[in-house]
């Protein structure tokens, strides 16, 4: 039995295991819903008579709505708690996914994707807050990585599963089934999740969970306090690159394999899953890398190092994948690229919970995720414009690689200052 197990009651262990399990389940449904448009890309284009540029706009509609909602979502999580905020979000995004079943044109489809983005906005910042509530600071990287791995597991499972649904029943039924699954998860979340204070955990044990938290020196507006730190801005711009490269693959990989590599719909669905599986492995591995490095350095730097290394790997492999001619090497390089990107993503989510005071985690995650959502908005849209104007995916993937390398530089140079140290730092360091 580990030292942590000896110090933590069976009730806390059961409750936090249940919490992370529910988060993983919700995260998988979350990404199934996001992935549906990418999987149905060619069929939707044909059914609604959309150009590549229009499809890029549709693919990006979710991300800009998701990004704009981050700060309000963070405020709602801080005010009402993750249980109610995530429960309401699950219901909204599931209803939005179901409504996409009935669209007849680009405008209504964009509206449905906007509603999906608004509903999903509390998911990952709320999930990180859940892990911060149930785990001590030094223990948070691994559960956050496991939870965040759902953002890679679902895209790995989505191509074959959603492709089977689409080929059997059409893309509209595919959307309907995904939306109904979200409603089931919403019911489970509201029935079974409770915060430590609501779950009957003794105050002394709650205090133990908070014992390693950073002192909260925020005064007045929490967002204005956070924006004083260079690290906050580095996380904003750095996460732009993390999500840009992830969404480049998530939204255009099936279309790329069909158009550029001339695969059938079924083959593209199968081969799209291979890099996504590698991404899932990377997302889980990020937590183990951070925990291993935490034995020889502080938690913040131990989490930062895999982010930088992962984004370098993602950038180099994405550029190389765009240039190779063989199908096998391209899939292998894309797999390595998504592995690196998801190492960076899982550690990026954990970083806020390690360097910020507990009550500022959700807001910092919201700021970071606005940058990420901007990357998620631009990746599919810019790639669609590039393909339409050049007839090739190569320039779009090379641009994604350059953005990944730039993100590594931003994290490596400017994301080292723990939040909360500003008030006590020398003037020269502020």
In tens, the pLDDT along 75-130 reads: 888 788 899 999 999 999 999 999 999 998 999 999 999 999 999 999 988 998 99
Higher pLDDT, 247 or 359: 247
CA 119 to the chain's CA centroid: 14
The whole-number average pLDDT for the span 10-14 is: 92
Assess whether pLDDT exceeds 50 at residue 426.
no
Q: Which percentage of the chain shows pLDDT scores above 70?
A: 94
Task: Give CA torsion, residues 199, 205, 211, 212, to 10 deg.
Answer: -70
The pLDDT of residue 236 is: 96
Q: Which CATH number fits domain 13-211+219-419: 3.40.50.1100, 1.20.1250.20, 3.90.1150.10, 2.40.30.170?
A: 1.20.1250.20
Task: Determine contact, residues 116/37, Cβ cutoff 8 Å.
Answer: no
Task: Determine contact, residues 125/70, Cβ cutoff 8 Å.
Answer: yes
Task: Determine contact, residues 347/294, Cβ cutoff 8 Å.
Answer: no
The pLDDT of residue 209 is: 87
The pLDDT of residue 214 is: 65
The total of other beta-carbon atoms located within 10 Å of residue 9's CB is 13
Q: Is 13 helix (H, G, I), strand (E, B) or coil?
A: helix
In terms of residues, how long is the chain? 430
Assess whether pLDDT exceeds 90 at residue 314.
yes
CA 355 to the chain's CA centroid: 19
pLDDT in tens, 265-295: 778 877 888 998 899 899 889 989 998 998 9
pLDDT in tens, 179-198: 999 999 999 999 999 999 99
Q: Which helix (H) or strand (E) holds 271?
A: helix 265-293
pLDDT in tens, 211-247: 877 666 555 567 888 888 999 999 999 999 999 999 8
The whole-number average pLDDT for the span 400-423 is: 84
pLDDT in tens, 134-152: 998 888 888 988 988 887 7
The model's pTM is: 0.74
């Amino acid at each position: 039995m580990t030292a942590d197990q000896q110090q933590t009651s069976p009730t806390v262990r059961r409750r936090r295991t249940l919490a992370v399990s529910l988060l993983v389940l919700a995260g998988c449904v979350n990404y199934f819903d996001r992935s549906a448009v990418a999987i149905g890309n060619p069929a939707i284009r044909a059914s609604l008579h959309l150009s590549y540029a229009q499809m890029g706009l549709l693919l990006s509609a979710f991300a800009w709505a998701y990004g704009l909602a981050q700060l309000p979502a963070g405020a709602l999580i801080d005010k009402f708690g993750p249980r109610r905020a995530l429960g309401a979000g699950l219901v909204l995004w599931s209803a939005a996914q179901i409504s996409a079943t009935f669209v007849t044109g680009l405008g209504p489809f964009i509206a449905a994707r906007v509603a999906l983005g608004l509903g999903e906005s509390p998911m990952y910042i709320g999930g990180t807050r859940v892990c911060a509530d149930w785990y001590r600071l030094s223990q948070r990287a691994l559960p956050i990585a496991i939870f965040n791995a759902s953002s890679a597991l679902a895209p790995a499972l989505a191509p074959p599963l959603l492709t089977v649904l689409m080929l059997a029943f059409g893309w509209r039924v595919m959307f309907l089934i995904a939306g109904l699954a979200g409603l089931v998860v919403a019911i489970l979340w509201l029935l079974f999740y409770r915060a430590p204070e609501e779950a009957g955990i003794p105050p002394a044990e709650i205090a133990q969970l908070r014992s390693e938290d950073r002192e909260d020196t925020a005064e007045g507006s929490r967002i204005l306090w956070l924006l004083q730190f260079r690290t906050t801005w580095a996380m904003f711009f750095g996460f732009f690159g993390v999500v840009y490269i992830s969404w480049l693959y998530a939204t255009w990989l099936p279309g790329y394999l069909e158009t550029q590599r001339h695969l059938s719909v079924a083959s593209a669905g199968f081969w799209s899953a291979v890099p996504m599986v590698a991404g899932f492995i990377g997302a889980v591995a990020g937590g183990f890398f951070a925990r291993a490095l935490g034995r020889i350095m502080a938690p913040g730097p131990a989490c930062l190092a895999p982010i930088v290394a992962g984004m370098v790997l993602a950038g180099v492999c994405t550029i190389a994948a765009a240039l190779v001619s063989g199908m096998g090497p391209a899939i292998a390089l894309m797999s390595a690229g998504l592995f690196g990107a998801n190492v960076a993503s899982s550690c990026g989510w954990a970083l806020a919970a390690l360097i910020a005071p507990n009550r500022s985690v959700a807001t910092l995650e919201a700021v970071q995720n606005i940058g990420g959502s901007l990357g998620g908005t631009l990746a599919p849209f810019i790639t669609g414009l590039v393909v339409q104007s050049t007839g090739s995916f190569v320039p779009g993937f090379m641009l994604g690689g350059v953005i990944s390398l730039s993100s590594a530089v931003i994290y490596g140079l400017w994301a080292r200052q723990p939040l909360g140290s500003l008030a006590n730092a020398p003037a020269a360091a502020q």
